[in-house]
Structure 1
Amino acid sequence: MSFTSNSIKLKNYINSMAVPKKRTSISKKRIRNTLWKKKGYFTALKAFSLGQSIFTGNSKSFFCNKYKR
């Protein structure tokens, strides 16, 4: 590769990067942050609920082998 082809690739890469047009307001930033956190909370809640139902043996959506103790 020559120097010119590398510089052309670099220019194309720089031109194709996403750049915000305006600064995001604090309220929008907080809204997005809380939605992101809520999504994680509900995913964890579902995982805990599934784990609980598997442990008690009442699971209807998840199949697993039962080990005899």
Structure 2
Amino acid sequence: MAVPKKKTSKSKRDKRKATWKSKANLQAQRALSLGKSILTGRAQGFVYPTDEETEED
């Protein structure tokens, strides 16, 4: 069975966890911003079907 040769320091562990959490936080902020822009009708680069388009087809 494979065993690590040295114990990882707490600072390295905490640094990796902080990086992971900050990336997740950034993605959550972007998703929230996109959702808000869609609700207000200001979304520029997001295409989605509306009820009007489906009724015409």
Structure 2: unaligned runs, 5 residues or longer: 53-57
TM, length-normalised to structure 2: 0.76
Where in structure 1 do 4 or more consecutive aligned residues deviate above 2 Å? 65-68
> Which position in structure 1 is the counterpart of 2:6?
22
Identical amino acids, percent of aligned pairs: 42
Rg comparison, structure with higher value: 1
Structure 1: unaligned runs, 5 residues or longer: 1-13
> Which position in structure 1 is the counterpart of 2:25?
41
Q: How many positions carry a matched residue from both structures?
A: 52
Q: What is the root-mean-square deviation in Å for CA atoms of aligned residues?
A: 1.7
Deviation of residue 67 (structure 1)?
Answer: 3.7
> Which position in structure 1 is the counterpart of 2:47?
63
Task: Write the deviation string for residues 9-46 of structure 1: whole angstroms up to 9, x where unpaired.
Answer: xxxxx6xx6x5332110000010011111111000000
